[in-house]
Structure 1
Amino acid sequence: MADDKDPDEDVGLVKTLRPFHVWALGVGIVLVGEYMGWNFTVAKGGILGALIAMTLAGVLYIIISLCASELGAATQSAGGPYEWARLFVGPGAAGSVGLAVYMEYIALEAADAIVVAQLAQSIFPEIAVFPMTLLVIGALTFVNYRGVVGALTLNFVITMIAFLAIIVFFFSSTLGGIVELNSAELWSQGAMPQGLIGLFAALQFGPWFYLGIEGAAMSAEECAKPSRSVPLGQQAGMISLLVVAAMTLFYCSSILPASDLGVSVYPQWEAARESGVTFLIVLMGIGTLLTCLASANGTICDSSRSWYALAKDDYVAKWFSAVHPYYRSPYRSVIFTMPIAIAFAFSGYLDQVITFSIISGLLCYVLIPFSLIRFRKMFPDRIANDKVRPFKGPLQPYIAWFSIIVAIVILTTLYWGYFYNLLFGLLFYTIAYFYFHYKHTERPMDWEKEMGWPKPVHHYENENKE
């Protein structure tokens, strides 16, 4: 009798990633937000609004990062937010957050590829934007098809160059005296042009500084030592982003007037051009290009892992869960990122694409801390051992509740400028929630067999009642 079993079915993901790979995945996805997009906070709320948005979003992402570190180290799964919601919340939440992660990163990939193509066209005018966008998406998909180690090693190299470019610019302007700063005058002129309502409206762009850092934990299943690599790489990434976000806001707002900074497409590069220093102009131009490539590369990695996790549990077609027998990558899920990213890119509306990414991300920022709250409730200290909770974040679950409130507040600010995007996004994920909820009934889970954990606390409570 012919064996119709998929030959790739028993092949697992490779387990070789180190903390620097986790850092490269998280920071590589996010660093593009330091090069562009964050400056729209200035258009809405001025320099003060940008500072408030950066700080409040920073607090939110620190908490999300802590939640993701604890959950990722515990579950050690490639599914990330999907897996956490599946284990600790329910099938409806799992399906919708898994889809949200996928859409968040796919939309960001498309936006990154469009920007790379536009930059290429600005250097070589004969290049057409859309074919170049397709080339970028196709090339980076091939890199991820060939395996996660190569993809994230590449991400580490190009992300580090873009990261160091910001450091060099900062010290050139503060200690080196190479760049002339005009902080006091520019800050006073552009502090709060839209009044108090502008400060509130600016919050919608705060996530650009850090959007996607939670994705670092999605590499857990492919880490050699996930209980160490995920928390270390995730927290190092978050600290790195906090530092460069503060540096970026400081020197860009000290070189460019708020009226110019708020509408700039490439604020880092334009600040370098305003400085008149050729070395910095070239450096920030290279940094802008590399950070877009790193972000697109990392988003393919994370979105494919989310789709792979959904496929493993039949939320989408099981066919997508195959792992390449040689490259050990979820190659079908990787390839499937291409048509979706191209569809987003074909629209050509960069701000609309990124706004949908932000809406999808904010949904995750509600469900990730809620999954942590449920995890702590199901496995409190009295029954949780080192295997259940190899990393324990501070002040939980109180800060998780706080982050949910902050995420909802930031979500409401999209009313100013992106009301229909917000309405469509909420409707889309509400439909997804009920679809997955009714398609996948919650089944009793054998915690010892699947996770190697003791039974959660409610099992003991039910046994005592009986």
Structure 2
Amino acid sequence: MKSESKNQHVGKVTHHELKQTLGTWQLWGIAVGLVISGEYFGWSYGWASAGTLGFVITAIFIAAMYTTFIFSFTELTTSIPHAGGPFAYARHAFGPTGGYLAGAATLVEFVFAPPAIALAIGAYLHVQFPGLEPKHAAMGAYLVFMALNIVGVQIAAAFELCVTLLAIFELLVFMGVVSPGFQWSNFTKGGWSGADTFSMGSFHGMFAAIPFAIWFFLAIEGVAMAAEEAKNPKRSIPIAYITGILTLVVLAIGVMVFAGAAGDWTKLSNINDPLPQAMKFIVGEHSGWMHMLVWLGLFGLVASFHGIILGYSRQIFALARAGYLPEWLSKVHPRFKTPHRAILAGGVVGIAAIYSDELIQFGGQTLTANIVTMSVFGAIVMYIISMLSLFKLRRVEPNMERPFRAPLFPVFPAFALVAAVICLATMVYFNFLVAIVFAIFLALGYVYFLLTRHQRETAPADVLLEE
């Protein structure tokens, strides 16, 4: 395992170092901000297949998976605080090939999630400004937030914290405004895949809804990629992760229940803006509350978009620094100490995806749906490899320093692992064409991996993986 990570070029390290500036609050802001757009759109599509009650069960299952996963994943993050996150853990546990699989899966998750969110930002702006082409607005969002990430992680993290707090405030306002019209009977009517009673057919809808429940929490693990920039990662990261997942679980349940109980939930199950439409049931279309929600809704999208740019850039940076991608992508800006080339490279891929309708729009799914599904495939594969890495490192390196240990081991990581495998099988069944594309991507990447062994042998010293 050490053969490919060893190298003699210690002098290069200074050109590949990140600046440690992030505190606990900023890391919490990144954890919640990465995910919070999932509370605004995407999840309500799960109602179309599972119904409200069926989707509650699916969402609870996924929330349990993410909670056990984060408690387990935090052990890896604090033991190996590395910008590569899952890539570093799998490489430490399974060697270069394991590192490749985890790194490639994480890269798919974090590179394909931003264009989906950017398209949502573009669609929102198009509603407010009909003359603005959504795809051009999405590209504009990329340019603005790539620039903000390049200027400095401290500024980027401060901005992320601010927009995350605003996004949370808006969700609380939404729940408060619709609460006078809350009727549990609205939520339960036809709650089992459109029926009032549970049947065996309800299971099919509940499994089909898994990707939309995952969208509630997708990308929270991106905090791991800021570990090298945290002031005290062994203390601050566990606090950020645990408080972050608890915040998101409470918000997800609140938003889902209050939206469904506000009126006819079937009118919200196939749209991209379920919260404004739910509020219309209570306050009408022209209410001042309505206008506030529509405008502030942008903050939730921006928080996730901006945060995931930070995540994908650190993953590209770490993979390039270790020789899994071209070395020039690991250069750090001499003034801002940010991986500017990695930020731009991920942006180029994302913008290309936005304008690739004919290539990505297949299988009867929309462009956004296929991009989201591809991102979820990457996430689920990464979760599986990460939990396997945790079990492997517990066995082969029992004396490794573990500032935070997964509670109820092995129950928590085992549940997260089994749940992730179930999710992967479900995703393949319901999204076979996207699964094939994902597999082809991994296969092509593996060919590149095999052809670039020398590149890893001469990569800059990666001291955190040498310990």
Q: Output the TM-score relative to the length of structure 2.
A: 0.88
**Corresponding letter in the other structure for 1:269:** P
Cα displacement (A) at 1:439: 4.7
**Corresponding letter in the other structure for 1:92:** T
The residue number in structure 1 matching 2:77 is 72
Cα displacement (A) at 1:452: 8.1
Please, which of 44, 54, 66 is the counterpart of residue 39 of structure 1?
44
Quickly say closer, same or farther: Cα 1:8–1:131, change in 2 above 3 A. farther
Cα distance in 1 between the residues matched to 2:267 and 2:56: 17
Cα distance in 2 between the residues matched to 1:185 and 1:132: 37
Give the SS at the match of 1:294. Answer: helix
**Corresponding letter in the other structure for 1:85:** A
The residue number in structure 1 matching 2:15 is 10
Cα displacement (A) at 1:169: 2.1
Cα distance in 2 between the residues matched to 1:401 and 1:346: 40
- Confirm whether residue 389 of structure 1 aligns to residue 402 of structure 2: yes
Summarize the alignment of residues 33-182 of structure 1 with structure 2, pairs less than 5 Å apart: 33-174=38-179, 177=180, 180-182=181-183
The residue number in structure 2 matching 1:24 is 29
- Confirm whether residue 422 of structure 1 aligns to residue 422 of structure 2: no
Cα distance in 2 between the residues matched to 1:6 and 1:137: 34
Please, which of 252, 255, 258 is the counterpart of residue 248 of structure 1?
255
Q: Output the TM-score relative to the length of structure 1.
A: 0.88
Summarize the alignment of residues 449-460 of structure 1 with structure 2, pairs less than 5 Å apart: 450=464
Cα displacement (A) at 1:7: 8.7
**Corresponding letter in the other structure for 2:423:** I
**Corresponding letter in the other structure for 1:35:** Y
Give the SS at the match of 1:413. Answer: helix
The residue number in structure 1 matching 2:192 is 191
Cα displacement (A) at 1:295: 1.1
Please, which of 363, 374, 378 is the counterpart of residue 360 of structure 1?
378
Quickly say closer, same or farther: Cα 1:267–1:9, change in 2 above 3 A. same
2:330–2:342 contact (8 Å) kept in structure 1: yes
Unmatched 5+ residue regions in structure 1? 454-466
Quickly say closer, same or farther: Cα 1:191–1:233, change in 2 above 3 A. same
Unmatched 5+ residue regions in structure 2? 1-9, 195-200, 358-366
| 1:351-375 deviation digits (Å, cap 9, x = unpaired) | 1111101111111111111111112
- Confirm whether residue 398 of structure 1 aligns to residue 396 of structure 2: no
**Corresponding letter in the other structure for 1:414:** M
Quickly say closer, same or farther: Cα 1:373–1:286, change in 2 above 3 A. farther
Cα distance in 1 between the residues matched to 2:249 and 2:78: 22
Cα displacement (A) at 1:399: 2.3
Root-mean-square deviation (Å): 2.4
Cα distance in 2 between the residues matched to 1:13 and 1:296: 21
Cα distance in 1 between the residues matched to 2:232 and 2:246: 21
Quickly say closer, same or farther: Cα 1:240–1:184, change in 2 above 3 A. same
> Which of structure 1's runs of 4+ aligned residues deviate more than 6 A?
5-8
Cα distance in 2 between the residues matched to 1:137 and 1:129: 13
Quickly say closer, same or farther: Cα 1:65–1:37, change in 2 above 3 A. same
Percent identity, please.
26
Cα displacement (A) at 1:131: 1.7
The residue number in structure 1 matching 2:245 is 238
1:190–1:257 contact (8 Å) kept in structure 2: no
Give the SS at the match of 2:210. Answer: helix
The residue number in structure 2 matching 1:267 is 274
**Corresponding letter in the other structure for 1:305:** R
